[in-house]
Amino acid sequence: MSATAEAMAQSILPTAAAFSPVGPTVIDCQLEKVFYGDFLAVRNSNVPIEKGKITGFIGPSGCGKSTVLRSLNRMNDLIPIFRFEGHVKYHGQDVYGKNVDPVVVRRYIGMVFQQPNPFSMSIFDNVAFGLRLNRYKGNLEERVQKALERAALWKEVKDKLQKSGLSLSGGQQQRLCIARAIATEPDVLLMDEPCSALDPIATRQVEQLMLELKERYTVALVTHNMQQATRVADTTAFFGVDISQGGRTGYLVEMGETSRIFEDPQEELTKQYVSGEFS
Amino acid sequence: MAVNPFQHADSASSISGPPSGSDYLADSIFRVIALSCASLIVVLILYILWEIGGLALPAMAQHGLGFVSGTTWNVGSQEFGVLPEIWGTLYSSFLALILGGTFGVGIAIFLTQDFIHARLAAVFRTIVELLAAIPSVVYGLWGIYVVIPMLRPVAEWLHSELGFIPIFGTELSGPGMAPAALVLAIMILPTVAAITVDAFRRIPYKVKEAAYGMGTTRWEAILKVMLPTASSGILAALVLGFGRALGETMALAMLIGNSNQINLSLFAPANTLASLLASSFPEAGQIEVQALMYAAVVLLVITLIVNILGLGIQQYTVRKFEGKA
């Protein structure tokens, strides 16, 4: 294929119209291409994360929304075959810069995972983990209590802080993980389908928590559940899967204010997805 | 043949049916086989205890608990005491556990925490496990011809410079506690390493993710998250390693010096119960054999206590860290 033909092929690939949020952005994420080995997993996804807001990532399975989320705090570095073209900037600083230790990135950009993953240690030690890691000198008990209160877990565990975190139920474990993540007050909190292993009551509590969290933090939320996005997200990014190039490559289809995405989608694919024609 | 209340239901499939009589028979046969295999172990242990206990009975009646606290083993005067051997057994095993345990856990961390490529780690692991295939007597010979000469200059220096510390309190007399414990440590290394590797492998990927997600460095992830998570498995490895060290016979009989004394010094000769048994049996008369049987019972009891204690500690950590009842 000649250079011009390739350029033409590139230009006809569907890509999202650029979205720039009204408020200041915390993370400027422009992923041109994300590879796992030779597999092109995500392309052309320009996802700015607005400060103090909840940005929801929605889309069908395999659309790369988790991959995009995990590239924001370099969790993908754990996968040796991961590489990408583009940039991720946090407060204007290149997250993947030569002298940037991923460990530092993750201390400012915290994460809550799909499966609850408390450490096999006491509830208290779980929440105090990040504080101790950062050599926090203040009142540990106070911080732990505050984090557990914010995670809506304090009342249930205040009498058994020395019990193992793994002795809690699934919903409680996930709230413990949220408490662990917010105890160090990270600037940005990434949540990768945090409610997928939870029952409706626990889901409601976690959603309530997210709305409270955005008062202080910026949240990026991957969800498989469209209703959840409408309930909590201020901005929504819809990802689709492009099978035209042979593989299954995810890309950003459309991004905008949540109400606009759901009520007045501009792209046909978004329209079909939000109306529930496929999932 | 089981009752099938559904066969006349009008919409029932003609393909579905109850298990046949032979299916149920096979079920019962398998249950009986499994049960007898399991109970055979218990019966075997009880039988061994019974037999050895029976042979030891005359010595038990004669010496009583004084056997455990006595410090002389004199066939001529019919005086039998195994306190030095109990001490030697526990001391050598303890030293081996500290050395072999540290190295074993270290090797397991090296092999499982992404320090080397997985394929290379598998090769490495096989080599470590090969250590377990070396016969005990070969270890003993190696100890005599390699370890003791190698230890000698180190031991002399330690004794002359730091001789005021009790563990360096005597000169190396050739065979003794230090070479024995060193070789013993190498012998339990594969057990500890292999089981610890499995303990680390069992940790789900999401735990590693959680650790790195919190912003840990690699060492923080290993020391603060992976080690506590694997702790019950590591304890099991250490208990098994200690148990193996307690009962190890041949290499110790060749290396420990078979000297009936209680000494903190690493360089002094000592004795263990197992090596006492091995070295005294060939020439023992009837009275001494009874005393040796008593010593065997003592060794069995020690091993049993250590295993029960280890199991207890392991259960405790499982409860404390993993929250399982």
Q: Domains (ranges, CATH) in chain B?
A: 63-324 (1.10.3720.10)
Check CB contact of A178 with chain B, cutoff 8 Å.
Answer: no
> Contact A119/B212, CB-based, under 8 Å?
no
Work out the mean pLDDT of chain A and round it to a whole number: 90
Share of chain B above pLDDT 90, in %: 70
User: Is residue A7 over pLDDT 80?
Assistant: no
SS3 of chain A: the string is: CCHHHHHHHHHHCCCCCCCCCCCCEEEEEEEEEEEECCEEEEEEEEEEEECCCEEEEECCCCCCHHHHHHHHCCHHHHCCCEEEEEEEEECCEECCCCCCCHHHHHHHEEEECCCCCCCCCEHHHHHHHHHHHCCCCCCHHHHHHHHHHHCCCHHHHCCCCCCEHHHCCHHHHHHHHHHHHHCCCCCEEEEECCCCCCCHHHHHHHHHHHHHHCCCCEEEEECCCHHHHHHHCCEEEEEEEECCCCCCEEEEEEEEEHHHHHHCCCCHHHHHHHCCCCC
Check CB contact of B208 with chain A, cutoff 8 Å.
Answer: yes
> Contact A113/B212, CB-based, under 8 Å?
no
User: Is residue A10 over pLDDT 60?
Assistant: no
Contact list in A for residue B216 (CB cut-off 8 A) is 103, 133
ipTM of this model?
Answer: 0.88
| Interface with chain A: mutation pick from B214, B216, B318, B320, highest number of A CBs within 10 Å | B214
pLDDT score of A59: 92
pLDDT per residue as tens digits for the range A179-205: 999 999 999 999 999 998 788 888 888
> Contact B319/A164, CB-based, under 8 Å?
yes
The closest CB to that of A106, out of B208, B214, B224, belongs to B214
d(CA B94, CA A195): 49
The closest CB to that of B217, out of A75, A103, A181, belongs to A103
Of residues B139 and A206, which shows the higher confidence score?
A: B139
Check CB contact of A82 with chain B, cutoff 8 Å.
Answer: no
Contact list in A for residue B231 (CB cut-off 8 A) is 120
pLDDT score of B7: 77
* Min Cα–Cα distance to chain A from B117, Å: 11
pLDDT score of B283: 87
pLDDT score of B256: 92
pLDDT per residue as tens digits for the range A88-126: 999 999 999 999 999 999 999 999 999 999 999 999 999
User: Is residue B318 over pLDDT 90?
Assistant: no
Check CB contact of A115 with chain B, cutoff 8 Å.
Answer: yes
SS3 of B21-38: the string is: HHHHHHHHHHHHHHHHHH
> Contact A104/B220, CB-based, under 8 Å?
no
CB pairs under 8 A between A and B: 76
Mean pLDDT (whole number) for A75-87? 93
pLDDT per residue as tens digits for the range B219-267: 999 999 999 999 999 999 999 999 999 999 999 999 998 888 898 999 9
> Contact B215/A180, CB-based, under 8 Å?
no
> Contact B322/A120, CB-based, under 8 Å?
yes
Contact list in B for residue A73 (CB cut-off 8 A) is 213
Check CB contact of A169 with chain B, cutoff 8 Å.
Answer: no
pLDDT per residue as tens digits for the range A215-227: 888 999 999 889 9
pLDDT band at A4 (very low <50, low <70, confident <90, very high): low
Contact list in A for residue B228 (CB cut-off 8 A) is 119-121
Mean pLDDT (whole number) for A63-69? 93
pTM, 2 dp: 0.85
> Contact B209/A113, CB-based, under 8 Å?
yes
Helix (H) or strand (E) holding B80: strand B79-80
The closest CB to that of B213, out of A104, A111, A120, belongs to A111
The closest CB to that of A164, out of B204, B224, B321, belongs to B321
Helix (H) or strand (E) holding B291: helix B286-322
pLDDT score of B23: 92
d(CA A179, CA A112): 10
Rg (C-alpha) for chain A, rounded Å, is 19
Contact list in A for residue B204 (CB cut-off 8 A) is 117
| Interface with chain B: mutation pick from A73, A77, A120, highest number of B CBs within 10 Å | A120
Pair of tokens at residue A174 = 């996930």
> Contact B206/A113, CB-based, under 8 Å?
yes
> Contact A167/B323, CB-based, under 8 Å?
yes
Mean pLDDT is lowest, of A18-32, A251-265, B28-42, for: A18-32
Contact list in A for residue B229 (CB cut-off 8 A) is 119-120
